[in-house]
Amino acid sequence: MAGGQERILRQRIKSVNNTRKITKAMELIAASQIGRSQARIVANRLYHDGMRRIILEAALGDPAGAKSLLAEPERVTAAVVVVIAGDRGLSGAYNSSVLRAGERLVIQRRSQGTAVRLIVVGKKAPGFFRFRGIDVAASFTGFSDRPTFSDAREVAAAAAAPFIDGEVQEVVLVSTAFLSAATQSVTTRRLLPLTLPEAPAVSEPTGLKGYTEFEPEVEKLLTYLAPRALESEIFTALLEGAASFHTSQQRAMAAASDNADELSLTLTRIMNRARQDSITTEIMEIVGGAEALRARK
């Protein structure tokens, strides 16, 4: 029995320490990615805001033509739902919370009699939905850590095509909004028909509403603008999703490293006690043996 338990404990401590090395490395890598993905959100903001301004301008310039793209659909018989999750796990509740929100939305729409075409981003998504018996119409993987604009284009094209063809009346996005480094929250919002960025009664410096010229005429412009707007919205969502993923992975891995530290400390204490016990037992045996020999003399 001597040392047996001690050896087992030593092995466990070693394995906990190895796990800690991995979680610590993942934590540091995720932390280094947070800054970069945040910078990309900032870099994209100018384009995103500019796109929204153009759409607002075009919508105000042609209220009649904008109706088909902006008006509330009378009856939604079919909708596209885009869910943006991550490719990798070990990121706390990041994937599961956005996926569960997506599942809730699909179930809610279906109960209202709306057919749902599901488009998902991230390796974690298709399995989740298939396991729950929800068909996935299209899935995109491999870029959730570092999405590029052409990735967003592909997703947007898949989402916009049925809307433009009139097969669906609505495109809804479920994604994680990166509000700040400390807060991220799952949001569900409608992408098409377009929702106007702000109330039209904004007192912006572009005060000459209604006097804007359009080239080509505004009806044509709006038709082509809608898919571009969708690309911009989806790209923003992908970037925010990536930043949220890294933040949430960093947090999860920091917690895992802390747990490993604690576990390793506890196990070390138990091991030391076991070692002392075995030493004590050994001394007792030796002393007992020596006593027995002397007594026989």
Partner 1 sequence: MATLRVEVVTPERALWSGLAIALMARSSEGEFTILPEHTPTVGDIVPEVLRVATDEGEIRFAVHGGYFQVGPDREDNVTLATVLAGVAELTTEIDVERAQAAKEAAEATLSALSSNPDDHAGAALARAALARAELRLRAASARRDVVQ
CB of 215 to partner 1, least distance (A): 3
- Least Å from the CB of residue 51 to partner 1: 6
Token code pair at residue 285: 């045996």
Give CA–CA dist 262/70, Å, rounded: 56
Q: Which of 57, 240, 235 is nearest to 159 (CA)?
A: 235
Near partner 1 by CB under 8 A, which window of 186-194, 203-211, 263-271, 275-283?
203-211
C-alpha span between 18 and 16 (Å, rounded): 5
**Torsion, CA 17, CA 20, CA 21, CA 22, rounded to 10:** 130
Burial of 276 (0-12, 13-18, 19+ CB in 10 A): exposed
The reply to whether 88 sits near partner 1 by the rule CB under 8 A is: no
Distance CA 35, CA 119 (A): 28
Query: What does DSSP assign to residue 122?
Result: S
Return the C-alpha torsion angle 206, 209, 213, 216, nearest 10: 100
User: Which of 54, 76, 90, 254 touches partner 1 (CB under 8 A)?
Assistant: 54
Region 216-235 residues binding partner 1, contact defined as CB under 8 A = 216, 218, 220-221, 224-225, 228, 231-232, 235
Nearer to partner 1, 57 or 145 (CB): 57
Listed residue (216, 217, 157) closest to 192, CA to CA: 157
Residues 153-172, interacting with partner 1 (CB under 8 A)? 153
Q: One symbol per residue from 6 to 45: x for binding partner 1 (CB under 8 A), - otherwise; what is it? A: ----------------------------------x--xx-
Q: How far is the CB of 104 from partner 1 (least distance, A)?
A: 30
CB 238 within 8 A of CB 82: no
State which residue, 113 or 216, has the beta carbon closest to partner 1: 216
- Least Å distance between CB 108 and partner 1? 32
Where does this chain bind partner 1 (CB under 8 A)? Answer: 40, 43-44, 46-48, 50-51, 53-54, 57-58, 61, 148-150, 152-153, 205-208, 211-216, 218, 220-221, 224-225, 228, 231-232, 235
